[in-house]
Every structure is written in structure tokens, then in C-alpha cells.
Structure 1
């Protein structure tokens, strides 16, 4: 089977709704629980694809999460299809030469965010299918909860999506994609995170999701399937060579 490695930095920031879709797509999912002391793999040990999940840390919070230095090193070198989500996207940006601001001045972006897609996304193999779901404003909704934000993309990155509050919601750099929002998360996961945030309300998260649940679920499913298809396609190309 095609091996996908998932690096998890917090017990409550899991692969969540992506897990069954990746399995259905034929991926052999290996979760590395970095928060529990499991070793972050080297670039040549991740298999055919890599996902780096979110968590409550900042990108250089190495004192609280010492494995983050290893994740940044991994993201700087890995060449297989890679998806960074929230903290994972921020780590990807920093690893490739971009910049992240901790506690960015706009403050909390939580609940449901509209990601507006840029023209560059049209031919993108992973986020293009998501953008195809967009409304007349070229936007799709997703769950989100964050304060840190990418403020400078890596020099060779392609900017793919923005929101009203934070511009760099989606980008591609090489064979890696970063998304600031949470397409992999169920509403209950995000509501649990909101319960620990003084400026967020779990009830507000649930209400915002309920109003657009069908669209939000479609974005998550489409992104998961497109990324899985990309991992499978690149793995097959490598075998053919």
C-alpha cells in the first residue's frame, strides 16, 4: 500500500474526519504521536506522503514542544506530497523561508472562515478541486481557530487563498501545501478547542457550522480526496521510474 505519515503534535488535534477518507483511498496511514515522544521521521522515512497537523503551540515553541525543531527540519527537506494544517502550515512556511507572527494583531479567527480562492488555484491538483466548490464570491467555508498567522510566504510559494482577516490561508511551495483553516476537523473538535479559549465560544462554533454544514463537509471531503489522489499518483510515478 501507499504509505502516508501523519505527524501529530497534540492529542486533541488528530486526523479526525480525514482518517476514513485516506483509508478509503488506499493509503496506509501511520500516525507519529510526536507529543507522546514518538520520533519524528527523517525525510526518507515518511513514505509516499506527509501530513503535519495543528496544535496549541507557536512555530518556535521548542521549550514546550521540543519535537517542533525536528518537524521544521523535516518540512525543509521533504519532497513527497505534503499537507500542513494550521500549525503545520505555519511550520511549513517557516521551514521554507517564510515568516509567522505570534498573536498577530487581528486577533482570533475562530468558527467558520470564508476562504477566497485566487486565480492561481485553478490548475492546482490539491486545492483546485476545493476551489471548484466556491460560490459567486470565489469562496468556500471551513472551520478555523487560530491567532498566530503566516505574514510572509516563502519566496518560491504560490499564494492560493485568503480570508478577510488573514491573507495567507492557503499556499503551495514545491510539492507541499499549507492551509491555515481546519478541513480535517469535526465541529466537535473545534468546539473543544474553543472551550479553552477566552475569546471563543463552543456554542458559536456549533451554530456557525450548522448554518453551512453541507458546504463545510464538502470542502473537507474534497480536499482529503484530492490530496490522497496526489499522493497515490506521485507514488505510482516513482514506481514507474
Structure 2
């Protein structure tokens, strides 16, 4: 409600992962130096589960980013309202992109893999994946970033969360769609470069599968039979 917001905007408190509280203006002032992107939007990062998103939160902290906790039942609606009310601002969940893409401050790095090499490797990573649910994409990230990570587009995840609370219209349509994730392959990671030189297709597929499963594990997406197979494969690799 816009009138309610106008009456309460100065007393709304945001909580970060350190347990600190800020008014909206205080928080904007706190993060604007480090969390302003190249379009001059302030990016407010948030998590809804500090345990399951721990690794993503820690990566953000390593960049001197601050992360809010947004784990309330109405926080998706609150975020939508804040983005409409606070000029030049955007809320982004900390695990919705690779750390290099959460707050884009400069043009992307040059990829160490050519387009042809990426095209060659893509089917290796797609093998065994449900391509209706997972989309493999190569990104030129820092060498120190993970070789493979899994993200879920912010817009789709937010719409599905709202639909789960009873939203209609477009949100109902989004809620009926299957979960969709991006399998982000870091084209600058040494392990990915090594796959190009690997002459054994079978070995390539094992390594690609292992990297994908590790990424799934970090997002709590590896369960049941797939988890059991991952554990067995891990033991075979380290024998």
C-alpha cells in the first residue's frame, strides 16, 4: 500500500547477515560506494536462508559487499515495492548470478575459450541434464570463481515465490512453469580449459558431471539417487 509506505518509510528497518539494522536511507549510504553498478543503480543483495546460501554470502563479503536477510513471508512483495519506490535501486538475491555478474561495474572479461571451443564443450555439460530445466551457458568470469555454478534467474524465482503465496495473472502462469536454472560454466577457469585438451570423451563427461553435481549440491538440488551416484563417483575419483 503506497500510503502506508509513505507513512512508514523512515522507520522501516533492514537487517543484514551481521545482525545490524538500518533505515532505508542509512543502508543506501552504507552500500553505495561498493554496490553501485555501471548504470549507477545501487544493488542491494539479499539472502533468504543464511545457511543454504552461506557460500554465496561469503563470496559477496569477500568483495566487500553487504547482504541483507529477507526471509519473511511477505518479503518478495516488500522487495517489489522497494524497487518501485527507491530510485536507482535494485534488489538481487545473492545466489541469482555469479559473483562477477551480481554487480556489473565494467565490461565482461575476455574469454579464454573461443566460440568454437565453447560449442564443442556444451554438449559434454548438457549430457544427462534435463534441458527443459537446466540451460548451459558459458561466461567469462574470474579464474578464481568456481568452474561451474548454478543460478536461478531473479525474475522467474521471484514470480514463482509470489505465486506460491496466491498471486494470480502472470504470477499464476509463472508458477505453473517448471523450475528453471542456469548452469554457468566459467570459461576462464583452468579446469574448463583442461577439458579442451582432454582426449578422452568419457573422462570429459565424468569431470563435467562431477562439476555440475558439486554446483547442484551447493544449491541443495542434489538428492536421492543423484546424490548417491555423486558420492560413489567421488569415491571412485579419489581412489
Q: Which has the larger radius of gyration?
A: 2
Q: Same fold (TM over 0.5)?
A: no
Q: Which has the higher contact order (CA 8 A, sep 6+)?
A: 1
Give TM-score, length-normalised by structure 1. 0.30
